[in-house]
Chain A
Amino acid sequence: MNIIVCIKQVPDTTEIKIDPVKNTLIREGVPSIMNPDDKGGLELALRMKDKYGANVTVITMGPPQADLILREAFAMGVDRAILLSDRKFAGADTLATSYALAGAIKTLDYDVIIAGRQAIDGDTAQVGPEMAEHLGLPQVSYVIDAEREKNGNFIVKKENEDSVQTLEVEGKCVLTVLASAFEARYMTVAGIVDAYDKEVEVWGADKLDVDENKLGLKGSPTKVWQSFPKQLKAPGEVFEVSEEEAVEIIVKKLKEKHLI
């Protein structure tokens, strides 16, 4: 089996701060990490590799520094790593990103494509599903479990807000995965020692099966107009009252806001 995992390098948003004057993210000194849901996807792929035997290829689109997460993927146990890096990809929104990734994947041999549900920097959850559309493949999002049947189909569990669906997917498909369902393994020491001896394949736009007009800024219908931090909600009101009075106050407040 050949598995492709799409991963992204993101700033560790748990450590990110916002410039109070410019209202922009302060990226200096913020570590870059493998996006958590993508790492969950990689873990699912490696578990399939352990269970069924598979070749796992990771692919990312980004600047040369994104090499780091591919080395991490090597140290976790992947077999092949591809970095899509070209100025022509710059400024891509989710559509142009998913188009470039799909263009790369078209040139590869695969049985399943796994991606994280969403990246912690953009939170769109669009790239995986869009990629499936570009490739004309069935997709399951919010995946918390996946098993491969002997006939090549996948039995997939998908988490909804209040339920879990079990689906059977025929043949090749795209799965987008929740990090919470797949606690990622650590890199091994030997994997780390070997990680920089392996080759990361760097692909430019010319290697992809794409129309270059649909890449990067040119291929991006979405433009970010403004970014700003969310205003903090006002602090709540505190009433020091008896239980009965508390119930009355809560009911009154809810009625005021037309919630009940």
Chain B
Amino acid sequence: MDFSYSKTEELFLQMIRSFAENEVKPLAAEVDEQERFPMETVKKMAKLGLMGIPVPRQYGGAGGTVQMYIMAVEELSRVCATTGVILSAHTSLCMAPILENGTEEQKMKYLPKLASGEWIGAFGLTEPNAGTDAAMQQTMAVDAGDKYILNGSKIFITNAAYADVFIVMAMTDKSKGTKGISAFIVEKGFKGFSIGKKELKMGIRGSATCELIFENCEVPKENLLGQLGKGFTIAMKTLDGGRIGIASQALGIAQGAMDETVKYTKERKQFGKSIAQFQNTQFQMADLKTKVEAARLLVRSAAWKKDKGLPYSADAAMAKLFAAETAMEVTTKAVQFHGGYGYTREYPVERMMRDAKITEIYEGTSEVQRMVIAGHLFK
């Protein structure tokens, strides 16, 4: 068993840390405050190949590993969770299902532009009445000869306002339940497709989370992703992968809050000494550090299994469950350690605590992760 980073990963870590520190961190507060999508950062990431890390070379990607991709999400989220989720949704929720389920034509058409970052990807499953109960899809896709006609809407879609390609689930045969759901590749310019209202959120405020609206939207037949009726399976498998990304995002937020708290508690003096010298601080921080490291091992182990082609569904669920709850705990305590200052926007832990909460909710709530884990345990 080898827990160390490979030489390639070491080199990658050196690059992504420096990129996060110099290019992403300086914008984090502003992106949050102005609820602004950091397009300039996405362009810089694109230039370095960060928008296509685990995509093979033949489809225009960098030919890296899932492990490298999740390291990128962690390091970006450590300083700016908005940037982390932009990369995660783009990679795990849009490129991965095309790579894993697409025809050669679909891969050649979409992956090079997505992996180069010329296009941004998004994923549409959630609907007003289909959240955790994702099988209750009301968006309909009707066969109209050479195309499908989609009607309905999706909500809470990450990257939506800036995305060019969307993986969209819709019901092709309502009588078949989950087996009547199919997946489609929808382009921004398709007739009848539009972006609806943007959500005003508690955290990750720079990621453009919007509604997708389909009004007799025309999707060419060749844009069916995978087989007809396999959409629900594709969505669930996609989310398995996505959870490793969100687990990394949560891990990054937790690590970022740890970094800030170590720095602050060493500097802040009360009762004549730094608050890092108090045993209460030390014991609590020791517990948090242990949880962050445990989360990192879960995340790396899930990514390792995905890289090896081993089953990783339960591992991804455990990684996300634990990393998300750790992020929430670490950031909440980080604010507490910062006292009154931690509640102000002068210190990044205030933003981090708001950012952490979503990791317990999206791409499957913590309750869903427990269902997935228990499902594997009692099958």
Contact A192 B8 (CB under 8 A): yes
Enumerate 7 A-B pairs (CB-CB under 8 Å) in ascending A order: A187-B15, A189-B15, A189-B48, A190-B57, A190-B62, A190-B64, A192-B11
Of all chain A residues, the one with the shortest Cβ separation from B23 is A186
Of all chain B residues, the one with the shortest Cβ separation from A183 is B22
Q: Which residues of A contact B48 (CB under 8 A)?
A: 186-189
Point out residues on B near A: beta carbons under 8 Å.
Answer: 7-8, 11-12, 14-15, 18-19, 48-50, 52-53, 57, 62-64, 68
Nearest-neighbour CB distance to chain A for B26, whole angstroms, equals 15
Contact A188 B11 (CB under 8 A): no
Q: Which of B11, B49, B63 has the most CB of A within 10 A?
A: B11
Q: Which residues of A contact B57 (CB under 8 A)?
A: 190
Q: Which residues of B contact A192 (CB under 8 A)?
A: 8, 11-12, 15, 64
Given the interface contacts A72-B14, A75-B15, A190-B62, does A196 sit within 8 Å of B7 by beta carbon?
yes
Contact A186 B19 (CB under 8 A): yes
CA distance A33 to B204 in the complex (A): 34
Q: Which residues of A contact B8 (CB under 8 A)?
A: 192-193, 195-196
> Is A8's beta carbon under 8 Å from chain B?
no
Contact A75 B11 (CB under 8 A): yes
Q: Which residues of A contact B64 (CB under 8 A)?
A: 189-190, 192-193
A64-76 toward B: CB 8 Å interface, digit per residue (1/0)? 0000100110010
Q: Which residues of A contact B62 (CB under 8 A)?
A: 188-190, 193
Of all chain B residues, the one with the shortest Cβ separation from A194 is B63
Of all chain A residues, the one with the shortest Cβ separation from B68 is A189
Give the total of A residues in contact with B, Cβ under 8 Å.
13
Point out residues on A near B: beta carbons under 8 Å.
Answer: 68, 71-72, 75, 186-190, 192-193, 195-196
Contact B18 A193 (CB under 8 A): no
Of all chain A residues, the one with the shortest Cβ separation from B49 is A189
CA distance A139 to B18 in the complex (A): 33
Of all chain A residues, the one with the shortest Cβ separation from B22 is A186
List 13 additional contacts besides A189-B53, A195-B8; criterion CB under 8 Å: A68-B11, A187-B11, A188-B48, A189-B62, A189-B68, A190-B49, A190-B63, A190-B64, A193-B8, A193-B62, A193-B63, A193-B68, A195-B11
Q: Which residues of A contact B15 (CB under 8 A)?
A: 75, 186-187, 189, 192
User: A189 touches which one: B7, B12, B14, B18 (CB < 8 A)?
Assistant: B12
Nearest-neighbour CB distance to chain A for B240, whole angstroms, equals 24
CA distance A190 to B57 in the complex (A): 9
Of all chain A residues, the one with the shortest Cβ separation from B10 is A68
Contact B7 A71 (CB under 8 A): yes
CA distance A188 to B116 in the complex (A): 12
- A-B complex: 10 closest residue pairs judged by Cβ atoms: A189-B49, A189-B62, A190-B62, A187-B15, A188-B49, A192-B11, A192-B12, A190-B49, A188-B48, A193-B64
CA distance A68 to B63 in the complex (A): 21
CA distance A75 to B50 in the complex (A): 14
Q: Which residues of B contact A189 (CB under 8 A)?
A: 12, 15, 48-50, 52-53, 62, 64, 68
Q: Which of B14, B18, B63 has the most CB of A within 10 A?
A: B14
CA distance A186 to B49 in the complex (A): 11
Contact A72 B11 (CB under 8 A): yes
Nearest-neighbour CB distance to chain A for B243, whole angstroms, equals 23
Nearest-neighbour CB distance to chain A for B146, whole angstroms, equals 38
Q: Which residues of A contact B12 (CB under 8 A)?
A: 189, 192
Of all chain A residues, the one with the shortest Cβ separation from B7 is A196
CA distance A138 to B11 in the complex (A): 36
Q: Which residues of A contact B53 (CB under 8 A)?
A: 189
CA distance A190 to B117 in the complex (A): 14
Q: Which residues of B contact A71 (CB under 8 A)?
A: 7, 11
Of all chain A residues, the one with the shortest Cβ separation from B72 is A189
Of all chain A residues, the one with the shortest Cβ separation from B19 is A186
CA distance A75 to B19 in the complex (A): 14
CA distance A173 to B319 in the complex (A): 56
Nearest-neighbour CB distance to chain B for A73, whole angstroms, equals 11
Nearest-neighbour CB distance to chain A for B64, whole angstroms, equals 5
Q: Which residues of B contact A75 (CB under 8 A)?
A: 11, 15
Q: Which residues of B contact A72 (CB under 8 A)?
A: 11, 14
Q: Which residues of B contact A195 (CB under 8 A)?
A: 8, 11
Of all chain A residues, the one with the shortest Cβ separation from B63 is A193
Contact B63 A186 (CB under 8 A): no
Q: Which of B62, B63, B68 has the most CB of A within 10 A?
A: B62
Contact B11 A186 (CB under 8 A): no
Q: Which of A72, A192, A193 has the most CB of B within 10 A?
A: A192
Nearest-neighbour CB distance to chain A for B321, whole angstroms, equals 29
Q: Which of A68, A71, A186, A188 has the most CB of B within 10 A?
A: A186
CA distance A200 to B97 in the complex (A): 38
Nearest-neighbour CB distance to chain A for B54, whole angstroms, equals 10
Nearest-neighbour CB distance to chain A for B6, whole angstroms, equals 8
Q: Which residues of A contact B18 (CB under 8 A)?
A: 186
Of all chain A residues, the one with the shortest Cβ separation from B62 is A189
CA distance A189 to B47 in the complex (A): 10
Q: Which of A71, A72, A193 has the most CB of B within 10 A?
A: A193
Q: Which residues of A contact B7 (CB under 8 A)?
A: 71, 196
Q: Which of A68, A188, A189 has the most CB of B within 10 A?
A: A189
Nearest-neighbour CB distance to chain A for B115, whole angstroms, equals 10
